[in-house]
Structure 1
Amino acid sequence: MTATILIIDDKPDVRLSARFLLSNYGYQIEEADSPAIGLARLAQKSVDLVLLDMNFALDTTSGAEGLYFLDKLAAFNESNGTCIAAIAMTAWANTELIVQALHKGASDFIEKPWDNKRLVQIIDNTTKVSKLKRSNLALEQQLQDAQDEVWLNSQSPVMQAFLSQLERVAKTQANVLLIGENGTGKSSFAQYLHQQSSSHGAFVSVNMAAITETLFESEMFGHVKGAFTGADKARIGRFELAREGTLFLDEVAATPISQQAKLLRVLESGEFEKVGSSHTMTAKPRIVSASNEAFETLIKQGVFRQDLFFRLNTVTLKVPALRERREDIPMLAKQFLAKHGQTHGVPKKQLSSDAERYLSAQNFAGNLRELSQLMERLVILTSDIHVTPDMIAQVQNPNSAAAPLCKSAHAELPLMTIDEAEQQLLKLALTNTNGNTENAATILGLSKSAIYRRLEKYQIVAKDFQQKAGIL
């Protein structure tokens, strides 16, 4: 995505010169002739970087107006969760002012009149650093969300025992295989393992069921420009991204058997080559995998390599199903109610004691995901603050999720092949879930790996339905 630069300078010729130069390098340009106007632009436009003159007509030498803007920019970034960088410009070789500007958050500085090549280089470096900071902010937010997630709270012995194991394993660098039913929170536990480890790298997640066999090597190991048709630029693979961090292989059992040897090689040696390159690279991230499949059966069937399985499961942890930790259900339900109430701007609802007992008696085949969705429907569809068993039963109707697919249940169906019917159902489910693949899988009674296989088979792209819904 092209970066947007806000140029703040009271001299039109300076702004014009910078606009012409930076536009030629593909940057989008916004302008302001004062710090006050610049602050107003920040509230109106999405900006990646500010090119800030430190001296204005009101005070041409002290830099007070520029320093004032940097203070306001820091406050803006903090309150909005943004990482807008600033490069200070000054026509005065004032070392003290430069030090003050850097102290107040300026990323770099340049003297006027500037050298074009140096200005472009500084801006290029600063935008790259800002992009990394934004990624780190997003990661920190994910980790904070993980800390706050309800799955870390438990009163049940089985869950407390699991969390104790998780805590102990997290501090090591051992590869971990998380097994358990869909919806038990395996991906969240993978993030928690990374968060609690001594790793200094990134947490990189990849859904193995969503990678097509033809793009497997490109996704996992990367490719160089021109490696194949459509490779118009180089791509960094997941192993390289997670070089010093954690690589989470979700739905790892869905890895094509033809690609498992390549995955095994990297896990054993840490070596790989990008597609189209003969240069051997190294990366040895910690591997955390997750699956709800029975590997013993898959190995017997010849669809999963036993040696790869042994590489993945240095430690195997089974995530308890929700029905195995019924003591936690009322607490989890309350926290989901609070979370979804805040998201949708609805007053906090209260569970009656009867409602707590009703929920604790449910099996919740969809585990945490099902409980979360049930509480969200309660938040959206009911107006009473006090939740009763009757209210839960009303929104819990198992047919309600599938209702959009059954509006014409009594109409005569046209004769078609099974494949044609399957394609129609997939598209209808994606339409009703605005392209959410996991929700579509739930409606159709499929696992995540099963729906991804079918989407690949029929070349159906979930993002197309998200775009129609205005999500992308």
Structure 2
Amino acid sequence: MGWDEDRTDQSSRRAPAARPLVATLVVLHGPRGVAEPRTVVLSPGETTIGRAAAPRTIQLEDARVSRRHALVEVSPRGAVLRDMASSHGTFVGSARIETPRVLADGDVIRTGDSFLLFRVRPLDAPDAPIAGLSGSAPAIAQLRSKIALVAPTDVNVLVIGESGTGKELVAQAIHEMSARRGRFVAVNTSAIPESLAESHLFGHAAGAFTGAKTSHPGYFEQAAGGTLFLDEIGEMPLPLQAKLLRVIEERAVVPVGATQPRAVDVRIVAATHRSLESAVERGTFRGDLFARLSDVLLRTPALRERREDVLPLLARTLGPHAPPLDPDLVEALLLHGWPYNVRELIKIATELRVLGAGSATLDLSMIASRLGRRVDTGPLLAPSAIDEPTQVTAKADTRPPPREPEPEPRDAPSPEVVSALYREHEGNISRIARALGRSRRQVHRYLEAAGLRKKGDPDDET
């Protein structure tokens, strides 16, 4: 058995053969930290987790780990974790295990101050290095391999995924790995006023409306020979959907106020965080447009599906000179639900860098209010049997998907955070805005509230 994966190519007549799955333990973090996760494939039988150097042992250099701390047994019934009467206990998620525990894909294990992840992954799965889409989780590796297959073609691509999962990065990678030499033009369709959307997308002729003194090319013509990225396509009004469909089918645009069509050679990559299939059923999205946009579907995984990538991503954002992480902070980061994905991680890293400046360690108290939302680990797959040595059969999770998170609260940073960022970036508004993930106008208000500038003061940036 293999994964019941998302559809990736509607033109495929036959699904690819499922790759055998193997049970692994990923060493995520220890007292000395871990630069990159280390993956150990679990052979059938018993594997010890502990401090002792011994055969079939995952050795952890951790004074709080016992010599034989815990035992993982892989058998036809799955993978079972046992605590071996250790001094400080063995935890799965945040719960100490007192009896043998059947492990599920994605379970976070804590022994002493060391953290491991149980992962069921395809054996010898293909991968392709892509700048901007780093990570060792199977879900992101699978996405990279699909991008490498799709990019050289000219098919339209629909990218689906939660906010903050890197859908625009996927679109950029597709463009850069293609043979197209035109521009990559990114458009947030939900941000265009409906009354101006047609002229923005298709352009307008001189005199088409009041103030249109000259003709102006729309986004389609600006992306000629290149790629047009249409973000939040699910928010597009129905009347505009019909016009977009016609452009895709005829490969030509008619600017507002013009009468003659203009040929355009554009590849479209669209993205949404919503289910367009459901929108089609509700009548809020055209089925024929959905079919035209989704020659290939790609799904960007949520950060909670990539727990082995959380700490490396955080470390890169914090920088090489950041203090070490306290184990309780590590646990909270690994068990957090990450409703806003990588965007949320960047904000947490910014706050840690500011509040932890000069500290010996970064600890949970600095950001405890942000990490209050934990989820059960093991959300995707659970091993149910091992058909052959080292191969694991996994069943798909039948639970309903998590609800879409509510819009992220736009809570203002504290004056201390604002002041520290103001010093760090030497008053550069643009850099402060990028660090906070806010607009320059919001940053001006924060600086005024912190007494660092007066209303109406000019920018000092060059």
Match of 1:393 in 2: 367
Q: Are 2:130 and 2:173, in contact at CA under 8 Å, matched by a contact in 1? A: yes
- Tell me which of 335, 344, 348 is aligned to 1:374: 348
Query: Given that residues 180 and 319 in structure 1 are in contact (C-alpha distance below 8 angstroms), is that contact kept between their aligned partners in structure 2?
Result: yes
Q: Which has the higher helix share?
A: 1
Alignment of 1:71-470 (within 5 A): 149=132, 152-338=133-319, 347-352=321-326, 354-384=328-358, 386-394=360-368, 396=370, 403-404=411-412, 434-435=440-441
Structure 2: 5+ residue runs without aligned partners? Answer: 1-128, 374-407, 415-435, 444-454
Mapped partners of 1:467, 1:288: distance in 2: 41
* Alignment check: 8 A CA contact 1:208 1:254 kept: yes
Which structure has the greater CA radius of gyration?
1
Structure 1 residues 436 and 321, CA, compared in 2 at 3 Å: closer, same or farther?
farther
Letter in 2 for 1:328: D
How far residue 320 of structure 1 moved from its aligned partner, in angstroms, is: 0.5
* 1:356 partner letter: V
Once the two structures are TM-superposed, the CA of residue 233 in structure 1 deviates from its matched residue by: 2.3
TM-score normalised by L of structure 1: 0.52
Q: Distance in 2 between matches of 1:300 and 1:329?
A: 36
Q: Which structure dedicates a bigger proportion of its chain to strand?
A: 2
Rate the CA distance shift 1:334–1:293 in 2: closer, same or farther, 3 A: same
Cα distance change on mapping 1:198 and 1:387 into 2, 3 Å: farther
Deviation by residue 1:190-214 (Cα, 9 ceiling, x = unmatched): 1111111111110001111011221
Partner deviation per Cα, 1:68-97 (whole Å, 9 max, x = no partner):
xxxxxxxxxxxxxxxxxxxxxxxxxxxxxx
Q: Which amino acid aligns with 1:383?
A: A
Could you say if the C-alpha distance between residues 264 and 403 of structure 1 is closer, same or farther in structure 2, counting changes exceeding 3 Å?
closer
Counterpart of 1:119 in structure 2 is none
Post-superposition offset of 1:260: 0.8
Return the offset for 1:272. Answer: 1.4
How many correspondences in the alignment?
Answer: 270
Contact 1:223/1:275 (8 A) holds in 2 = yes
Change beyond 3 A, Cα 1:265–1:402: closer
Residue by residue, what CA displacement relative to the aligned partner does 1:304-324 show, whole Å, maximum 9, x if unpaired? 100000000000011100001
- 1:214 is aligned with what amino acid? S
Match of 1:206, SS state, is strand
AA of the residue aligned to 1:298: A
Deviation of 1:401 after TM superposition, in Å, equals: 6.0
- CA 367–403 in structure 1, closer or farther in 2 if over 3 Å, else same: closer
Structure 1 residues 163 and 466 mapped into 2: Cα distance closer, same or farther (>3 Å)? farther
Give the distance between the partners of 2:333 and 2:284, measured in 1 at CA: 39
1:165-184 deviation line (CA, Å, top 9, x unaligned):
11211121111100010110
What's the TM-score, normalizing by structure 2?
0.53
Q: Give the Cα separation in 2 of the matches to 1:259 and 1:270.
A: 16
Contact 1:249 1:290 (8 Å CA) reproduced: yes
Q: Does the residue aligned with 1:248 lie in a helix, a strand or coil?
A: strand
C-alpha offsets along residues 12-63 of structure 1, whole Å, 9 cap, x if unaligned? xxxxxxxxxxxxxxxxxxxxxxxxxxxxxxxxxxxxxxxxxxxxxxxxxxxx
Alignment partners' CA distance in 2, 1:316 and 1:204: 20
Greater alpha carbon shift after TM alignment, 384-393 vs 329-338: 384-393
What is the alpha-carbon distance in structure 2 between the residues aligned to residue 304 and residue 467 of structure 1? 46
| Aligned partner letter, 2:370 | Q
For 2:163 and 2:216, how far apart are their aligned partners in 1?
A: 31
Report if the CA contact (8 A) 1:434-1:466 is conserved: no
| CA distance in 1 between partners of 2:208 and 2:348 (Å) | 47
> In percent, how many aligned pairs have the same letter?
37
* CA deviation string 1:122-180 (max 9, x = no partner): xxxxxxxxxxxxxxxxxxxxxxxx9653xx22111122111111121112111110001
Q: Which residue of 2 aligns with 1:58?
A: none
C-alpha distance in structure 1 between counterparts of 2:233 and 2:457, whole Å? 28
Contact 2:336/2:372, CA 8 A, preserved across alignment? no
Cα displacement (A) at 1:277: 1.2
Report how far residue 350 of structure 1 moved.
3.6
Contact 2:183–2:227 under 8 Å retained in 1: yes
SS in 1 for 2:234: helix
Contact 1:434/1:469 (8 A) holds in 2: no
CA contact (8 A) 2:232 2:270 kept: yes
CA distance in 2, matches of 1:436, 1:257: 33
Q: Which amino acid aligns with 1:225?
A: A
CA contact (8 A) 2:234 2:285 kept: yes
Distance 1:403 1:180, change over 3 A: closer
8 Å contact 1:374–1:395 — kept in the other structure?
A: no
Q: 2:356, 2:362 within 8 Å by CA — same for their partners in 1?
A: no
Contact 2:163 2:340 in 1 (8 A): yes
Residue 332 and residue 404 in structure 1: after superposition, are their counterparts in 2 closer, same or farther (change >3 A)?
Answer: closer
User: What is the SS of the residue equivalent to 2:256?
Assistant: coil
Check whether the contact 1:249–1:288 (CA below 8 A) recurs between aligned residues.
Answer: yes
Match of residue 448 from structure 1: none
**1:95-141 superposed Cα distances (whole Å, 9 cap, x missing partner):** xxxxxxxxxxxxxxxxxxxxxxxxxxxxxxxxxxxxxxxxxxxxxxx
Find the residue that maps to 2:306 and give its secondary structure: helix
Q: Distance in 2 between matches of 1:250 and 1:235?
A: 22
Distance 1:401 1:201, change over 3 A: same
Q: Is the 8 A contact 2:204 2:217 kept in 1?
A: yes
Displacement after TM superposition at 1:237 (Å): 0.4
